[in-house]
Amino acid sequence: MFDIGALGLSDLVRLSSALRQPTGADSMEGAARAVVRYLYDTLLDKETGEPSCALVRLYKTHRYADLDPDLKAFAAASSGAVLTEGLSCLTLLASAGVREEWNDPRASVGHRAIPLPTAAVVQRSPMIHRLLVELGFDVERVVGDRELMVDARPRPYNVFHVEEALGSPYVPAQEEFVVPYGIRSVVGFGGLLPDGELFAVILFSRTPISRECAEQFRTVTMSVGLALLPYVDRVFEGRPAAEGRVGSPALWKAMALEQLVDVREQAVLDQSLRLEQALADLEDRAVELSRSRAVLSESEARKAAILAAALDGVVTVGADGLIVEFNPAAERLFGYPRDEAVGSPMAELLVPPSLRAAHHAGFARHVATGESSILGSRVELPALHSTGYEIPVELSIVRIDVAGPPMFTAYVRDLSRAKRVEAELRELADTLQAGLLPPRPPVIVGMDVATHYRAGGAGVRVGGDFYDVFRLGDDQWGVVIGDVCGKGAKAASVTSLVRYTARAAAAHGGGEPGAVLHEINAALADGPDADDRYCSAVFARLTVSDAGADVVACGGGHPSPLVVRAAGGVDAVPTGGQLVGLFEEYESTCHELTLAPGDALVLYTDGVTEARNAAGELFGDERLAALLAAHPGASARTLVAAVVAGLAEWSESPGDDVALVALRAAP
């Protein structure tokens, strides 16, 4: 059996030997039948083991006069003209194929005997014309009335080859034959017999045949010719032998054998050259492989050193979810030795039970679709320690595209210590911030007071917002609110300076708001780091009576306070003014107003109006005013609670610090 798509030298030798000695033949027709049957049965598709050829045919030319009456009638009918005795006819001598009727040449409806009157007529049959030309025959000498070339000597010919049969003009019956029977390639080979007639074998293969492979069939031509040679005078079964029609069969056989040896020598030479080239290529590849292995070994050594020295845990997982790499830092982080971790399901080993369902779903989705919400980004989440406790980690995952399914490497950083330090700093910051604010609102006879403070962001730095409410006299009170530039220790020192300067200035200056802000400005503008010490602020003096409260409010670049009227409506107090501490010369803007019983004065920092929602929209002045207007006559505590609730609904996480002070005149 032979792989038609990859014939080797030994295959060609065995194939040629088998074809050269057909068994059981008593005529050329019988020998031809043995040749096509052997080719059909032994040329196989290596993938399926089935015959590669859907059809194998052997043709031979005859003079019209030498055909039997049945073939003469067929040739005359197909030509539609009177044929001369010496006219050459291409006769189907033997056939083998996948359909039963293809195994009997007499069942052919169009190829039993094809007259070849002129070269012009042959050109109208593209496949026959191309076959003759590519096999090396002179079409003019083959067609029409011709004398027998009894002294013609055999010689090797080329092959007829159509690498892609589908759509080729040289392969007829595309819809009736090529498409339904899956014909991929066509190969033809042939030569001359000592009586001057030519023969040709055509293979219609369902297996693709390259040009290089098709060329190998040149070595088979002489073997087929030698198989037909003994019967040049007995072509058709049941017909007497022809006399005087053949030249010297012995001489022709000797020449054919000589040519066969030459062809095989050429085939051996070609194969040797290919083997030598393949060996040279293998040697080059071996050298390159050796270099690649050296580079790979060096790369593996560097990788091992990097993994061993890495401070973060490195865990590599395959598409099946099993761990394939677990560095020393990962061993220390999770408490598992590498030998135990490698080969284990990552989800069962390192993912807390509460997160496993989401992990499996996300992992499967990414492997199937490539979608991911965490690849290439840093995320904080809990991981599972070997002791069963959860530990906070920071995780970054990258995808590794390798041959086959992808792999994933996770870089894991232990956040346990960082979280402890952060909690300690947060507690310290909260304690420090609490020290910068009054512990609770003072009790003012005739007034209702409420305050609120919330530090912004998720950090641990002390905020810059502040407020204070303190007594100035029997019926007078000072209120200050502001926002210091920056955060942290420096902002805390400025906040402390502003608060105590406000108290001192108010005590010595009779609580005049403009004078208090001037003193604060002077304190901030004085010193080596004065350029970074400034704030926005509002200072108000309240004189409380049974009729409500008289208010004088001065502003320094701070949001205007709002007055919530018990009778309905909200008024902004036009304080304005320039930032405090930014310039040595300071001018404040003051405004006087009266709070009737039930009216409330609300002071706030810009953390309220500049809070943003998920869409990036500001809370804004109008929304704050509308929220307060919905609570006319409400207590100070109710007003503060309404603002706090409104901010919580608007934004999930605080941005800037928020400070609120509400003072309502008793009804």
Q: In this structure, are residues 603 and 555 in contact, taking their beta carbons and an 8 Å threshold?
A: no
Angle at alpha carbon of residue 590, lines to 585 and 594, rounded to 5°: 165
Q: What pLDDT is stored for residue 460 in this prediction? A: 44
**Weakest mean pLDDT among 64-73, 273-282, 504-513, 565-574:** 273-282
Q: Which residue has the higher pLDDT, 175 or 375?
A: 175
**Weakest mean pLDDT among 111-125, 249-263, 303-317, 461-475:** 249-263
With b for 16 or more beta-carbon neighbours within 10 A and e for fewer, the 75-109 pattern comes to bbebbeeebeeebbbbbbbbbbbeeeebbebeeee
Query: Using CA atoms, how far apart are residues 503 and 500, in angstroms rounded to an integer?
Result: 5
Q: For CA atoms 53, 100, 175, 117, give the dihedral sign.
A: positive
Q: Output the six-digit token pair for 138.
A: 């002179």
Supply the mean pLDDT for the chain.
84
Report the DSSP pairing between strands 43-44 and 2-3. parallel
Q: In what order do the strands lie in the sheet with 548-556?
A: 465-471, 476-484, 535-545, 548-556, 589-595
Q: What pLDDT is stored for residue 58 in this prediction? A: 96
Note the pLDDT tens digit of each residue in 18-69: 888 777 788 999 999 999 999 999 999 888 889 999 999 999 998 898 888 8
**Weakest mean pLDDT among 114-128, 219-233, 366-380:** 366-380
Residue 292: CB atoms within 10 A of its CB come to 12
Q: How many Cα atoms are found within 13 Å in the side-chain-facing hemisphere of 364?
A: 7
pLDDT at 591 over 90: yes
Helix (H, G, I), strand (E, B) or coil at 50: coil
Q: In this structure, are residues 241 and 233 in contact, taking their beta carbons and an 8 Å threshold?
A: yes
DSSP line for 307-329: HHH-SSEEEEEETTSBEEEE-HH
Instruction: Indicate the fold that domain 2-274 takes in CATH.
Output: Beta-Lactamase (3.30.450)
What are the boundaries of each domain within the chain?
2-274, 310-414, 427-665
AA identity, residue 277: Q
Q: In this structure, are residues 596 and 566 in contact, taking their beta carbons and an 8 Å threshold?
A: yes
Query: Using CA atoms, how far apart are residues 98 and 601, in angstroms rounded to an integer?
Result: 102
pLDDT at 526 over 90: no
Q: Model confidence at 452, in pLDDT bands (50, 70, 90)?
A: very high
Q: What pLDDT is stored for residue 150 in this prediction? A: 43
The pTM score is: 0.45
Radius of gyration, alpha carbons of the chain: 51
For 55, list phi and psi in degrees, rounded to 5.
-155, 135
Q: Model confidence at 7, in pLDDT bands (50, 70, 90)?
A: confident
Angle at alpha carbon of residue 397, lines to 394 and 398, rounded to 5°: 150
Range 274-303 average pLDDT? 73
Q: Does domain 427-665 have CATH number 3.10.129.10?
A: no
CATH class, range 310-414: alpha beta
Query: Using CA atoms, how far apart are residues 29 and 340, in angstroms rounded to an integer?
Result: 76
Do 427-665 and 2-274 have the same topology in CATH?
Answer: no
